[in-house]
Amino acid sequence: MERGLISVDRWSDGSQAYFLTHLHSDHTRGLTSSWSKGPLFCSRITAKLFPLRFPGFDLSLLRVIDVESWHSFSLISPSSGSNTVLHVMAIDAHHCPGSVMFLFRGDFGCLLYTGDFRWEGTSKRAERARATLLNALQDNAVDVLYLDNTYCNPSYEFPSREVAAQLVADIIAAHPEHDIIIGIHDLGKEELLVHIARALNIKIWVWPERLQTMHLLGLNDVFTTKTDLTRVRAVPRYSFSINTLEGLNSICPTIGIMPSGLPWTVKPIECDDKHFGSPLTHQNSKSGEIQMGNLNGNLGLVKKFHKYIFSVPYSDHSCFAEIQSFIGLVQPNNMKGIVSSSSCYVDPIYYFGCLCKASQPAKKLHCKHENKKGGSQALAVRRKLYIESGKLTKLETQRRKDRKADYFGVRLKRFHSLRRIQRGAKIADIDFSD
């Protein structure tokens, strides 16, 4: 009676088509080289990078969805058993290389799944994505918007990546005698590194596997694996720590730069223009202070939470204002956050229900259970859509019979797992026919 039709960033059994928004591992959990549950649709760039992540994967399962045009294919309706046509368009999500949103249209209505995305109003790419989306939607309503709600709270404010990238370049320029390390992951932040390289006319060291990725992305000139060619190194995020920095400083003066949208990290030492040159340059006070140059009043954005470590608000997720602007543009009938985390999950309806076409009742923070009734009557479609979250119930049960350990400790750990499991959606189709 109830079976799955399509899944996005979810890899369990029971769907006829699987969609991957991008190659970060919290969206590929459950996907392995031996996976063979159906066709896997992704962007051209993701397909290009795919074999590096999943060597030996049966590439005949991989289907490229080029951005900005409609693709149609036939599936079997889980409810009626007859053929049904699914239309899908991929739109640049500008999160990491290859990342896309998926816009679906079919018997079930119209769905927009953003995956992780950054909706900067300032770039050419954003303008293009905006035009593509508007053109694709025409006058059709989006029934459900599945939204990257990572920073769906007004406290999350940060500048465009262009501004943040220049901040990083300025910090490096202000430390001409230092080695620099920048913490990055396996994919993402390439534009930041390219900006630094161009602004300072230097190459950037990366580890060998990362160089492979850069070459697949067509970035052939900027990066090197030879340490003697540059003082700027992009290193794996997990090897970037206070210990690492202290170790490096016993050999050579080195600062670390952490690009992140997260504003807190460790309690930062506040930096403002009044203390220009210090404490930003505190680590250098013995050998004389270094001037930071003119940061166009953006110096306050840079946090320094350790004598060797700077944190710069460079984010690949949308800030609150950008989320707001995106929802205002789409004006969905209903929406759901795709990111659920321990204490920070915010139902986007809480802040933006008023931007939905069918106005939503106010919701409480952190109260996911209220969703069940909430906006269901607002759906204009004949059939009701939902995100299956089967494993959640299991986890809840697990939590209850959990051992005697400290309540908060257990809770945090369980929610941590929960966050990871809840990424992605299995879009099921329930038959409500008489």
Partner DNA sequence: GCGATCAGCT
Partner DNA sequence: CACAGCTGATCGC
Q: Which residues would be at the binding site for DNA (CB under 7 A)?
A: 24-27, 30, 32, 34, 95, 116, 150, 185-188, 236-238, 240-241, 243, 260-262, 264-265, 267, 316-317, 339, 341-344, 398, 412-413, 415-417, 419
Angle at 53 between CA 49 and CA 57, to 5 degrees: 95
Long-range pairs, 29-37, Cβ under 8 A, ≥24: 29/420, 29/421, 29/423, 33/57, 35/11, 35/61, 36/61, 37/11, 37/13
Nearer to DNA, 7 or 360 (CB): 7
Nearer to DNA, 268 or 277 (CB): 268
25 vs 227 by CB, closer to DNA: 25
Closest separation in Å from C-beta 45 to DNA: 15
Contact predicate 424/9, CB 8 Å: yes
Q: Are strands 71-76 and 83-92 parallel, antiparallel or unpaired?
A: antiparallel
Min. distance of Cβ 261 from DNA in angstroms? 6
Least distance from DNA to the Cβ atom of residue 156, Å? 10
Beta-strand relationship, 334-337 and 144-147 = parallel
Smallest distance from DNA to CB 213, Å = 11
- Considering only CA atoms, which of 374, 372, 334, 376 is closest in space to residue 352? 334
Indicate the burial class of 309 (C-beta count within 10 angstroms; 0-12, 13-18, 19 or more).
buried
Tokens of 214: 């850069």
Neighbours of 334 (CB within 10 A): 24
Neighbours of 80 (CB within 10 A): 12
Q: Cβ closer to DNA: 72 or 398?
A: 398
Q: Cα–Cα distance between 369 and 335 in angstroms, integer? A: 15
Our CB check for DNA shows the closer of 287 and 417 to be 417
Q: Closer to DNA at the Cβ: 354 or 412?
A: 412
Smaller CB separation from DNA, 202 or 321? 321
Q: Which is nearer to DNA, 241 or 389 (CB)?
A: 241
Residue 385 Cβ vs DNA, minimum distance, rounded to whole Å: 24
Task: Count Cα neighbours of 123 within 13 Å in the Cβ-side half-sphere.
Answer: 16
CA–CA dist 156, 263 (Å, integer): 8
Q: How far is the CB of 395 from DNA (least distance, A)?
A: 7
Q: How far is the CB of 280 from DNA (least distance, A)?
A: 21
| Beta carbon of residue 208, minimum distance to DNA (angstroms, whole number) | 13
Q: State how far the Cα of 179 lies from the Cα of 165, in Å rounded to an integer.
A: 18
Least distance (Å) from DNA to the CB of residue 142? Answer: 23
**Reading across the β-sheet that carries 385-387, which strands appear in turn?**
62-64, 40-42, 17-19, 2-8, 425-430, 385-387
Which two three-digit tokens encode residue 295?
């940061």
Unique residue bearing structure tokens 């005698």: 177
Of residues 95 and 426, the one with the C-beta less far from DNA: 95
